[in-house]
Structure 1
């Protein structure tokens, strides 16, 4: 009985030691393996912006980081998986009396481009630095389908200052031969005898020759872009009757 008791006392002691040693590893929740750790996120921000991190917390796979630099406080949102900067804003809670002087800190171009592409869908075709009311900014042009979107983004905060879009002019569509035939038949009922295309000046036309059931012949002229129609007739029936007379 005494040996049995000592055995269980020894086993319990071993279990307690294992739990005590393992507790520092499991006692604190940490990001998953495919996410940046707090230390990695802090190092990334400090290396990029050369400031002092005063707050760092994780929520919804995003790090919210407060960075103090040049007596100003900035709030940064960082994607915990990709490490991309989602936003960079100057906090209203300044660490020193405010000044009218413009801050010299500017976000890296790659971060600003990512902010633009997070704001609108499409492909970035142009990105250049501009001055907007003596405020360093970037003008980005994004193409999406048949639209061109122009975005002005603040170089320091990453805030979107303005957005405008315009339609991209598409080249005029030329009618196909089948479309031209369908237009011609809708104007003159009959059998298509011939079709050809001709250019007059800088205008291109289809010419469709149609024979009707009453032995008449029409030539339908169709504008290759607008579809405008001109019909001209060649009355073979009358010529045949004149010959019989």
Structure 2
């Protein structure tokens, strides 16, 4: 009888051990599945910085990307799990100037400025061609060819990306982005604010006010009259793009006045 109890005890211990081992393996597989792939991490780096990834390594839980840009070479470290930028360090500064139209390039004398572009550098890309090349940068708001006697010409474009406005400087012959500057966070438009308000209260828009003051996030106050003649005022945060408050106007009690 005692022998049977010992056998049952060892059997229970073995079952518990197998269950624990299976749980640990599944947890490890889940953690591994949540980590970013090298391609996903590379996309995160290129979304934030303009250039070409020329080297990739992975150390512990971090991806190390060497990015070659117009201004030099940078080391970008991306967290392999959450995709955050851990650090960015300039490794080499580019002080070389682009050759002018009279300089010679032994590799491609027909186009010394851009050996990969067979077109004559005297003829810049058209506006439509530049639009196509920067289509991945965000939603295009405006684009203009800037010509200056003091410096070479360039395209300047304003794009909206992730609710932020970016000003891009673009090489007119290659279509490459040579500089990107975040101008400001994009505010919610009046039309977008009205649509958000109507999602909160169904009715007819009676009035819209945009409020902007020091020390306070800009917001819209939108008055909506419902079919049953009630009136609500919805406050929409212009940055967060969401309704903050909904206030109903108090109705007079006609019966008390009679």
Q: In which range does the TM-score fall when normalised by the shorter chain?
A: 0.3 to 0.5
TM-score, normalised by the number of residues in structure 1: 0.34
Instruction: Select the structure of larger CA radius of gyration.
Output: 1
